[in-house]
Amino acid sequence: MTATETPFEPRIVAFCCRHCAYAAADLAGTSRLAYPPALKIVELPCTGRVDVLELLRTFEDGVDGLLVAGCLPGRCHYLAGNLHARQRVDYARRWLEDIGLEGERLRMINLSAAMGAQFAELATEMAETIKDLGPSPLGTRQTAGQGLSIGSTPLPGEAVHDHGDGR
C-alpha cells in the first residue's frame, strides 16, 4: 500500500429489527463496544419487512456487505417474520451468486435485544469477511464526507424509469 492510499473500510448496511437487533446495536453503543465505523443501521419494524428487491437494490447501490439482523428463532414479535427473512436472504444470495457477486456479502444474523456484545462481535466478523473479499466491484468509492445513500433508487410501481449505469 502506498502512503496515500487509505485502508479499505467496508461499507456495510444492517437492516435491523427494532425489537431485537436495533436495540442490541444501541446497547453495544451505550456499552461503548466498538463495531465497524462504516456500518449503517436501517431500523425496520420486523425483518419480515425485508424484501429481495431491496436487498438487491442495496447491492446495486454499491454496498460491500449487507446484514439482516432479526430476533432469535421463535422470538419474532410477529411470529415468523425472521423466518421469512431468512428464506428471502437465502434466495437473494442465490441471485447475488448468479449475478457474479459473492453470496457471503449478504448474511442473516439472529439476536435478542440484550445481545449488544454479540451484535458488535458479529458486525466485526462481517467486516472481516468483507475485508477479505475486498470492495464490491459495483461500488463507486466515495470521497470523504459523502455518506452512503441507500434508498436513492425509486420504488417499483412508478412509471417507466431508468436505472442505467450513469447514476
Q: Cα 90 vs. chain centroid, distance in angstroms?
A: 14
Cα–Cα distance measured from residue 130 to residue 10, given in angstroms and rounded to the nearest whole number: 6
Cα–Cα distance measured from residue 15 to residue 24, given in angstroms and rounded to the nearest whole number: 13
Cell of 30: 451505550
Neighbour count for residue 122 (Cβ, 10 Å): 21
Burial of 4 by CB count in 10 Å (0-12 exposed, 13-18 middle, 19+ buried)?
exposed
* 138 near another protein (CB under 8 A): yes
* 101 near another protein (CB under 8 A): yes
Min CB(35)–another protein separation in Å: 27
Range in contact with another protein (rule: CB under 8 A) among 17-25, 41-49, 93-101, 109-117 = 93-101
* 7 near another protein (CB under 8 A): no
* 57 near another protein (CB under 8 A): yes
Cα–Cα distance measured from residue 64 to residue 9, given in angstroms and rounded to the nearest whole number: 9
* 102 near another protein (CB under 8 A): no
Sheet with 65-71: strands ordered across: 39-44, 12-17, 65-71, 106-111
Range in contact with another protein (rule: CB under 8 A) among 21-29, 30-38, 70-78, 97-105 = 97-105
Gyration radius (Cα) of the chain, Å? 16
Write out the binding residues for another protein, residues 26-55 only, by CB under 8 A.
51-53
Range in contact with another protein (rule: CB under 8 A) among 20-28, 71-79, 94-102, 114-122 = 94-102
* 9 near another protein (CB under 8 A): no
Among 10, 12, 15, which Cα is nearest to 109's?
15
Range in contact with another protein (rule: CB under 8 A) among 38-46, 63-71, 99-107, 111-119 = 99-107
* 161 near another protein (CB under 8 A): yes
State the residues that interact with another protein by CB under 8 A: 51-53, 56-57, 59-60, 95, 98-101, 137-138, 156-157, 159-166
